[in-house]
Amino acid sequence: MPEGDILKRAAAHLNQALAGRRITYCLLRWPSLGGTDLTGQTVEAVSAYGKHVLMRLDSGYTFRSHLRMDGLWLIEPAVDGRPGPASRAQTWNSRAVLANESWVGIGHRLGMADLIRTHDLPYLIGHLGPDVMADQFDPDLAAQRVLDQGQRGIGATLLDQRVVAGIGTIYMAETLFEWRVRPDRPTKDVPDVPGLLAHARQLLRRSAAARTPTATGVTIRGRTSLVHGRLHQPCRRCGTPIAVMRVGQAPLDRPAFYCPTCQPD
Protein backbone atom coordinates (compact mmCIF):
# COMPACT_ATOMS: atom_id res chain seq x y z
CA MET A 1 0.00 0.00 0.00
CA PRO A 2 1.33 3.48 -0.81
CA GLU A 3 2.71 5.25 2.24
CA GLY A 4 2.86 8.85 3.36
CA ASP A 5 5.75 9.75 1.06
CA ILE A 6 3.91 8.51 -2.03
CA LEU A 7 0.72 10.34 -1.03
CA LYS A 8 2.63 13.54 -0.30
CA ARG A 9 4.34 13.38 -3.69
CA ALA A 10 1.09 12.60 -5.53
CA ALA A 11 -0.78 15.44 -3.83
CA ALA A 12 2.06 17.90 -4.52
CA HIS A 13 2.13 16.99 -8.22
CA LEU A 14 -1.65 17.23 -8.51
CA ASN A 15 -1.65 20.55 -6.68
CA GLN A 16 0.99 21.95 -9.02
CA ALA A 17 -0.94 20.83 -12.11
CA LEU A 18 -4.54 21.46 -11.08
CA ALA A 19 -4.75 24.05 -8.29
CA GLY A 20 -6.04 27.46 -9.31
CA ARG A 21 -7.34 26.16 -12.64
CA ARG A 22 -10.86 25.49 -13.90
CA ILE A 23 -11.81 21.90 -14.74
CA THR A 24 -12.53 21.63 -18.47
CA TYR A 25 -12.99 17.85 -18.69
CA CYS A 26 -14.29 15.36 -16.12
CA LEU A 27 -14.75 11.60 -16.20
CA LEU A 28 -15.59 9.78 -12.95
CA ARG A 29 -15.98 6.00 -13.10
CA TRP A 30 -17.34 5.22 -9.65
CA PRO A 31 -20.79 3.83 -8.74
CA SER A 32 -21.70 6.56 -6.25
CA LEU A 33 -20.50 9.30 -8.62
CA GLY A 34 -22.48 8.26 -11.69
CA GLY A 35 -23.59 11.35 -13.58
CA THR A 36 -21.39 13.68 -11.50
CA ASP A 37 -19.73 16.38 -13.60
CA LEU A 38 -17.15 18.72 -12.08
CA THR A 39 -16.61 20.68 -15.29
CA GLY A 40 -16.50 24.42 -14.64
CA GLN A 41 -15.41 24.11 -11.03
CA THR A 42 -12.01 25.37 -9.94
CA VAL A 43 -9.57 23.25 -7.93
CA GLU A 44 -8.51 25.35 -4.95
CA ALA A 45 -5.89 22.98 -3.53
CA VAL A 46 -4.84 19.33 -3.41
CA SER A 47 -3.45 17.88 -0.20
CA ALA A 48 -2.93 14.52 1.48
CA TYR A 49 -3.94 13.31 4.91
CA GLY A 50 -2.68 9.89 5.88
CA LYS A 51 -3.44 7.85 2.77
CA HIS A 52 -6.22 10.07 1.43
CA VAL A 53 -5.81 12.54 -1.46
CA LEU A 54 -8.11 15.53 -0.94
CA MET A 55 -8.95 17.81 -3.87
CA ARG A 56 -10.77 20.90 -2.60
CA LEU A 57 -13.12 22.61 -5.08
CA ASP A 58 -14.51 26.15 -5.12
CA SER A 59 -18.05 24.72 -5.02
CA GLY A 60 -17.61 23.86 -1.34
CA TYR A 61 -17.02 20.19 -2.06
CA THR A 62 -13.91 18.02 -1.84
CA PHE A 63 -13.13 15.10 -4.15
CA ARG A 64 -11.53 12.42 -1.99
CA SER A 65 -9.61 9.44 -3.33
CA HIS A 66 -7.75 6.63 -1.58
CA LEU A 67 -5.03 4.66 -3.35
CA ARG A 68 -5.53 1.43 -1.35
CA MET A 69 -2.91 -1.15 -2.38
CA ASP A 70 -1.91 -0.19 -5.91
CA GLY A 71 -3.65 3.02 -6.95
CA LEU A 72 -1.79 5.99 -8.42
CA TRP A 73 -2.31 9.40 -9.99
CA LEU A 74 -0.63 10.32 -13.27
CA ILE A 75 -0.17 13.81 -14.72
CA GLU A 76 -0.15 14.25 -18.50
CA PRO A 77 -0.26 17.33 -20.78
CA ALA A 78 -3.73 18.34 -21.95
CA VAL A 79 -4.67 19.21 -25.53
CA ASP A 80 -7.35 21.89 -25.86
CA GLY A 81 -8.48 21.21 -22.31
CA ARG A 82 -8.94 17.47 -22.80
CA PRO A 83 -6.81 14.32 -22.62
CA GLY A 84 -4.49 14.34 -25.62
CA PRO A 85 -3.25 11.39 -27.68
CA ALA A 86 -0.41 10.72 -25.23
CA SER A 87 -2.75 10.35 -22.26
CA ARG A 88 -5.92 9.04 -23.91
CA ALA A 89 -4.64 5.47 -23.77
CA GLN A 90 -4.07 5.88 -20.02
CA THR A 91 -7.73 6.71 -19.36
CA TRP A 92 -9.39 3.47 -20.42
CA ASN A 93 -8.94 1.73 -17.03
CA SER A 94 -8.93 4.85 -14.89
CA ARG A 95 -11.37 5.71 -12.12
CA ALA A 96 -11.07 9.49 -12.44
CA VAL A 97 -9.90 11.85 -15.18
CA LEU A 98 -9.80 15.60 -14.53
CA ALA A 99 -8.34 18.08 -17.00
CA ASN A 100 -7.77 21.82 -17.30
CA GLU A 101 -6.37 23.85 -20.16
CA SER A 102 -2.83 22.59 -19.47
CA TRP A 103 -2.85 19.30 -17.59
CA VAL A 104 -4.75 16.05 -17.10
CA GLY A 105 -4.87 14.17 -13.77
CA ILE A 106 -5.57 10.45 -14.23
CA GLY A 107 -6.44 8.31 -11.21
CA HIS A 108 -5.69 4.64 -11.83
CA ARG A 109 -6.99 1.73 -9.73
CA LEU A 110 -8.29 4.04 -7.02
CA GLY A 111 -9.58 2.07 -4.06
CA MET A 112 -12.05 4.74 -3.02
CA ALA A 113 -13.55 7.88 -4.52
CA ASP A 114 -16.31 10.18 -3.35
CA LEU A 115 -17.44 13.79 -3.27
CA ILE A 116 -18.21 15.33 0.10
CA ARG A 117 -18.89 18.77 1.50
CA THR A 118 -15.58 20.27 2.56
CA HIS A 119 -16.94 21.27 5.98
CA ASP A 120 -17.77 17.59 6.59
CA LEU A 121 -14.14 16.49 6.17
CA PRO A 122 -13.51 16.25 9.94
CA TYR A 123 -16.25 13.61 10.14
CA LEU A 124 -14.66 11.65 7.31
CA ILE A 125 -11.07 11.56 8.54
CA GLY A 126 -11.62 12.38 12.20
CA HIS A 127 -11.04 8.76 13.20
CA LEU A 128 -7.47 8.92 11.89
CA GLY A 129 -4.49 9.68 14.08
CA PRO A 130 -2.13 12.63 13.55
CA ASP A 131 -0.65 12.69 10.05
CA VAL A 132 3.09 12.05 10.39
CA MET A 133 3.70 14.03 7.18
CA ALA A 134 1.79 17.13 8.23
CA ASP A 135 3.68 20.39 8.70
CA GLN A 136 2.20 20.79 12.17
CA PHE A 137 2.89 17.20 13.30
CA ASP A 138 3.86 17.08 16.99
CA PRO A 139 5.74 13.85 17.85
CA ASP A 140 5.34 14.42 21.58
CA LEU A 141 1.55 14.59 21.35
CA ALA A 142 1.38 11.68 18.90
CA ALA A 143 3.62 9.58 21.16
CA GLN A 144 0.94 9.43 23.82
CA ARG A 145 -1.49 7.87 21.35
CA VAL A 146 1.15 5.29 20.51
CA LEU A 147 2.01 4.53 24.13
CA ASP A 148 -1.68 4.12 24.95
CA GLN A 149 -1.51 0.87 22.93
CA GLY A 150 0.32 -0.74 25.87
CA GLN A 151 1.09 -4.42 25.24
CA ARG A 152 0.30 -4.26 21.56
CA GLY A 153 3.36 -4.82 19.35
CA ILE A 154 4.98 -1.63 18.12
CA GLY A 155 4.89 -2.81 14.48
CA ALA A 156 1.10 -3.25 14.51
CA THR A 157 0.72 0.03 16.40
CA LEU A 158 2.63 2.05 13.80
CA LEU A 159 0.56 0.53 10.99
CA ASP A 160 -2.74 1.44 12.67
CA GLN A 161 -3.88 4.61 10.90
CA ARG A 162 -6.23 5.34 13.81
CA VAL A 163 -3.18 5.80 16.04
CA VAL A 164 -0.86 7.70 13.69
CA ALA A 165 -1.54 8.19 9.97
CA GLY A 166 0.84 7.81 7.06
CA ILE A 167 3.22 5.02 8.11
CA GLY A 168 3.06 1.74 6.18
CA THR A 169 5.03 -1.48 6.15
CA ILE A 170 8.19 -0.03 4.59
CA TYR A 171 8.74 2.83 7.00
CA MET A 172 7.53 0.83 9.98
CA ALA A 173 10.28 -1.71 9.28
CA GLU A 174 12.96 0.83 8.40
CA THR A 175 12.28 3.00 11.44
CA LEU A 176 12.29 0.07 13.86
CA PHE A 177 15.54 -1.24 12.37
CA GLU A 178 17.27 2.08 12.95
CA TRP A 179 15.76 2.18 16.45
CA ARG A 180 17.04 -1.41 17.08
CA VAL A 181 13.55 -2.52 18.16
CA ARG A 182 11.83 -5.76 17.09
CA PRO A 183 8.44 -5.23 15.46
CA ASP A 184 6.72 -7.37 18.12
CA ARG A 185 8.12 -5.54 21.17
CA PRO A 186 5.28 -4.27 23.38
CA THR A 187 4.69 -0.63 22.56
CA LYS A 188 4.92 0.42 26.20
CA ASP A 189 8.52 -0.88 26.32
CA VAL A 190 9.80 1.06 23.29
CA PRO A 191 12.35 3.76 24.23
CA ASP A 192 11.92 7.39 23.17
CA VAL A 193 8.69 7.06 21.19
CA PRO A 194 8.66 10.79 20.28
CA GLY A 195 12.12 10.34 18.77
CA LEU A 196 11.01 7.23 16.92
CA LEU A 197 8.04 9.09 15.39
CA ALA A 198 10.22 12.06 14.50
CA HIS A 199 12.62 9.69 12.76
CA ALA A 200 9.81 7.99 10.79
CA ARG A 201 8.66 11.45 9.71
CA GLN A 202 12.21 12.37 8.64
CA LEU A 203 12.51 9.23 6.50
CA LEU A 204 9.12 9.77 4.87
CA ARG A 205 9.65 13.45 4.14
CA ARG A 206 13.11 12.79 2.70
CA SER A 207 11.62 10.17 0.41
CA ALA A 208 8.78 12.49 -0.63
CA ALA A 209 11.37 15.07 -1.71
CA ALA A 210 13.52 12.54 -3.60
CA ARG A 211 13.31 11.74 -7.30
CA THR A 212 11.99 8.25 -6.51
CA PRO A 213 10.82 6.65 -3.24
CA THR A 214 13.70 5.71 -0.95
CA ALA A 215 13.98 4.82 2.72
CA THR A 216 17.76 5.23 2.74
CA GLY A 217 18.19 8.42 0.75
CA VAL A 218 19.80 6.39 -2.05
CA THR A 219 17.74 6.01 -5.22
CA ILE A 220 19.86 3.26 -6.82
CA ARG A 221 17.80 0.12 -7.36
CA GLY A 222 18.44 -2.42 -4.63
CA ARG A 223 19.75 0.20 -2.19
CA THR A 224 16.52 1.97 -1.25
CA SER A 225 15.88 -0.01 1.95
CA LEU A 226 17.87 -1.44 4.85
CA VAL A 227 15.57 -4.33 5.76
CA HIS A 228 12.23 -4.09 3.97
CA GLY A 229 11.91 -6.59 1.12
CA ARG A 230 15.38 -8.04 1.82
CA LEU A 231 14.41 -11.44 3.25
CA HIS A 232 17.48 -13.72 3.74
CA GLN A 233 19.83 -11.03 2.42
CA PRO A 234 22.65 -9.92 4.74
CA CYS A 235 21.96 -7.05 7.10
CA ARG A 236 23.76 -3.96 5.88
CA ARG A 237 24.94 -3.33 9.45
CA CYS A 238 25.99 -6.75 10.80
CA GLY A 239 25.62 -9.31 8.01
CA THR A 240 22.90 -11.42 9.69
CA PRO A 241 20.27 -12.67 7.22
CA ILE A 242 17.16 -10.47 7.31
CA ALA A 243 14.05 -12.17 8.71
CA VAL A 244 10.34 -11.41 8.50
CA MET A 245 7.40 -11.79 10.89
CA ARG A 246 3.70 -11.04 10.62
CA VAL A 247 2.30 -8.19 12.72
CA GLY A 248 -1.33 -7.34 13.40
CA GLN A 249 -4.41 -9.53 13.38
CA ALA A 250 -5.34 -11.69 10.38
CA PRO A 251 -6.62 -11.04 7.79
CA LEU A 252 -5.17 -7.53 8.10
CA ASP A 253 -1.73 -8.67 9.27
CA ARG A 254 1.31 -7.35 7.42
CA PRO A 255 4.95 -8.44 6.91
CA ALA A 256 7.56 -6.79 9.10
CA PHE A 257 11.19 -7.27 8.02
CA TYR A 258 13.90 -7.04 10.68
CA CYS A 259 17.41 -8.10 11.63
CA PRO A 260 17.46 -10.71 14.45
CA THR A 261 20.87 -9.46 15.64
CA CYS A 262 20.40 -5.70 15.42
CA GLN A 263 16.83 -5.95 16.76
CA PRO A 264 17.13 -8.63 19.45
CA ASP A 265 14.01 -7.59 21.42
Annotated active-site positions, please? 2-3, 51, 254
Long-range contact list for 34-42, CB < 8 A, 24+ apart?
36/115, 38/63, 38/98
**CB of 98 within 8 A of CB of 25?**
yes
146: left (phi over 0), alpha (psi -120 to 50) or beta: alpha
Maximum distance among all Cα pairs of the chain, rounded to whole angstroms: 60
Q: Does residue 83 have a cis peptide bond before it, meaning omega lies within 30 degrees of 0?
A: no
DSSP state of 145: H
User: How many Cβ atoms from other residues are within 10 Å of residue 141's Cβ?
Assistant: 11
